[in-house]
Structure 1
Amino acid sequence: MNLSMQRLVLCGLLMASGASLALTTERIFQDARIVDEERSDDRHYLLPLGRVKYDRSLGRDVPARYKRMDGEFEAIVWELTGGEPLPEAKQRIDAHLEDPRFELLFQCQSRDCGESFAWANSVFEKPILYGNDRSQNLWVIKDVGAQVYHVFYLVERPNRRKYLYEETFKVPDLILSDSVIKEALERDGYLILGEIPVNAAGAPEFADLIERLKPHVKAVPPQLLVIHRHGSANQVPMLEPLRKALAQAGIEAQVEDLGNSAPRPHAPARAWLEWVDPEWQP
């Protein structure tokens, strides 16, 4: 099967299955060749957020920092066949990921990433990605406003062949209903409504969250909405903009901003909004 036919078949399969993989590599490197692909609709996933190292308690190599998630997983191994040198390949990826639609979560290169052998065989489980430690580059990014994560691993092998591993992981959105909201508030005392995205102008955007709230405020009137955030999101004013957005939508609720005083390991982003039952007791 030639390269053009291979791509047509792959794209058709992804579209038919409802896959979310954007085939980013194909847009950056038009001469790239698919070497391996994998897809799972239900996977427990570790998003790498640090260099790889040996964990004695687990008995294997894992990222020094990671985030556990469950959702849809897709991956493709590409061979870069266009003849571009490694520095140029890295520059192309850097330029693509500067798009404001993406948020960079982690990046490393060369030996700062750890051992290429560990990434290839233990983390990604793709032995073909084992290359020179000094040639490796890793990017971990997130789609702004969605729980869609991407991992890119660029490496050159001793035979000078260059490979790019493209991994996409999507956490499905919680489908809200009156019963789902009531059950979550009764069981946990809170419900994560979603990410508070910050636009290119540095302002928070609440439109999507307001639309999620609207259908349910009559059956389950929200008593308390809480803003959580950390990192760079702490510098963005959010409390008054949210109050204004709620008032414009005709939604009455108390609003608080807890900043980073109540972190959650499964938080969707650097800033998120929770629907809280203020009277809940465990």
Structure 2
Amino acid sequence: MRSLNLLALCCFSPLLFAADVPGSQDLPILPRMTDAQIVDYRPAAELERVYPLGSIRKISGQLRFDGQVSARGNATSVTYELPPEHSATQAFTDAREALQKQGAQLLFWCQARDCGESSLWANEVFGNAKLYGSDNEQAYLLLRLAAPKDNTLVALYSITRGNRKAYLHVEQFDAAGPLGDLLPTSATLLRELKSTGELDFPKLTDVPDEAWLRLISRGLNLDTTQRISLSGPKAEAWRQALIEQGVRAARMETGSVEGSGLHIELLR
């Protein structure tokens, strides 16, 4: 009888009845994390959207950041509450890697206090109070999907609240018109290099492009302790151009990774 009572308690555990908010669904671009629950869902709605490309702060009542992507289009968002055994950091990493495997390009990536105040991300950027937590326990990422979906942006925001509940917010924005050229920040390139160990630029097949050269050189010079190898058909031209931009020659060597464009690998 005792075992039956225990079985009954288990079967009627509130955790087993945890359900997504009515009418919600996952975004097709990103698989559901195991045992995650949708706690906020906002179906596609046409609006003017602004995504920060820098740390956010509020000055004289106005939201400020160094750069932005702004466009009109349709935005759809899903907020997941993660099970206790899944950290916000791991869910964020899994989502980033899944999108990068689809060829998505990172535009801006920040973590912890480098992002600014969590309250501003939660209330001003995403309009979702569930996302307010510790400034040290947050991460934000803006990506652009690969062609032919290159007019679609995906924003990821993860947070751990004071009660230790962890959340991952995913927002897909389908722009109504072409987004044009969008370049990542130098700090984002460095963060990606340190986190993944490599940077791929399949479109950089020719002589060094001035805009990309400035971005890459600035990113590398944000941490002068890192050594890299450069591969690709114009690898030596890129190495010489980076030296002219102030990157020390001793930090770079040419590699042998095959590919049509520039490939940068972190030397451990």
Counterpart secondary structure, 1:122: helix
Q: Which amino acid aligns with 1:113?
A: C
Structure 2: gaps (5+ residues): 1-15, 183-199, 217-231, 234-268
Does the CA contact (< 8 Å) of 1:131 and 1:155 recur in 2?
yes
Q: What's the % identity of the aligned pairs? A: 25
Relative to structure 1, is the Cα distance of residues 91 and 47 closer, same or farther in structure 2, using a 3 angstrom cutoff? closer
**Counterparts of 1:98 and 1:77, CA distance in 2:** 20
Give the direction of change, closer, same or farther, for the CA distance of 1:121–1:41 in structure 2 (3 Å limit).
closer
Displacement of 1:55 in angstroms is 3.8
Cα deviation for residue 98 of structure 1 reads 3.2
How does the TM-score come out when normalised to structure 2?
0.57
In the alignment, which residue of structure 2 is the partner of 1:134?
Answer: 136
Give the Cα–Cα distance (whole angstroms) in 1 for the partners of residues 121 and 39 of structure 2: 17
What residue is the counterpart of 1:262 in the other structure? none
1:71–1:169 Cα contact (<8 Å) kept: yes
C-alpha RMSD over aligned residues: 3.6
CA displacement 1:49-105 (0-9 Å, x = unmatched): 11111143xx23344321220001111111011512344334323432432510000
Among 25, 28, 33, the residue aligned to 1:22 = 28
Aligned to 2:121: 119
Task: Pick from 148, 162, 166 the counterpart of residue 170 of structure 2.
Answer: 166
Question: Given the alignment, which residue of 79, 94, 97 partners 1:95?
Answer: 97
- Counterpart of 1:80 in structure 2 is 82
Rounded Cα–Cα distance in structure 2 between residues aligned with 1:171 and 1:65: 18
Distance 1:64 1:32 in 2: 33
Pick closer, same or farther for the CA change 1:141–1:163 going to 2, 3 Å: same
Give the counterpart letter for 1:10 in structure 2. S
Which residue number in structure 2 is paired with residue 10 of structure 1?
Answer: 24
- Change in Cα spacing, 1:34 to 1:229, as seen in structure 2 (3 Å) is farther
Letter of the structure 1 residue corresponding to residue 153 of structure 2:
Y
What are the residue-to-residue correspondences of 1:26-37 with 2, within 5 Å?
Answer: 27=31, 29-37=33-41
Corresponding residue number in structure 2 for 1:202: 202
After superposition, where does 1:214-253 map in structure 2 within 5 Å? 230-231=211-212
Does the 8 A contact of 1:29 with 1:82 survive in 2? Answer: no
Q: How big is the shift at 1:47?
A: 1.7
Deviations 1:6-31 (A, max 9, x none): 499534xx8xxxxxx4252xx25121
Do the aligned partners of 1:47 and 1:69 also contact (CA within 8 Å) in 2? Answer: no
For this pair of structures, how many residues does the alignment match? 181
1:230, 1:53 → 2: CA distance? 27
CA contact 2:137–2:159 (8 Å) conserved in 1: yes
Shift of residue 123, structure 1, vs aligned partner: 1.4
Question: How big is each residue's C-alpha offset from its partner over 1:140-193, in whole Å with a ceiling of 9 and x where there is no partner?
Answer: 10002221001000110011100011111111357xxxxxxxxxxxxxxxxx9x
Partners of 2:29 and 2:33 lie apart in 1 by 10
Distance 1:201 1:116, change over 3 A: closer
Q: Which letter maps to 1:114?
A: G
Q: For 1:196-246, what per-residue CA distance to the aligned partner results, in whole angstroms no more than 9, with x for missing partners?
A: 9xxx782489xxxxxxxxxxxxxxxxxxxxxx9943699999xxxxxxxxx
CA gap 1:8/1:230 in 2 versus in 1, 3 angstroms: farther
Describe the shift of the 1:232–1:96 C-alpha distance in structure 2 as closer, same or farther (beyond 3 A): farther
Q: SS at the partner of 2:101?
A: coil
**TM-score, normalised relative to structure 1:** 0.54
Q: Counterpart in 1 of 2:71?
A: 69
Q: Which residue of 2 aligns with 1:276?
A: none
- Displacement of 1:109 in angstroms is 0.3
Q: Of 39, 46, 69, which residue of structure 1 is paired with 2:43?
A: 39
Number of the residue aligned with 1:179: none
Could you tell me how far apart the structure 1 residues matched to 2:215 and 2:122 are? Answer: 36
Q: Distance in 2 between matches of 1:125 and 1:9?
A: 19
Structure 1, 36-45 or 146-155: larger mean CA deviation: 36-45
Asked whether the equivalents of residues 92 and 168 of structure 2 are also in contact (C-alpha less than 8 Å), the reply is no
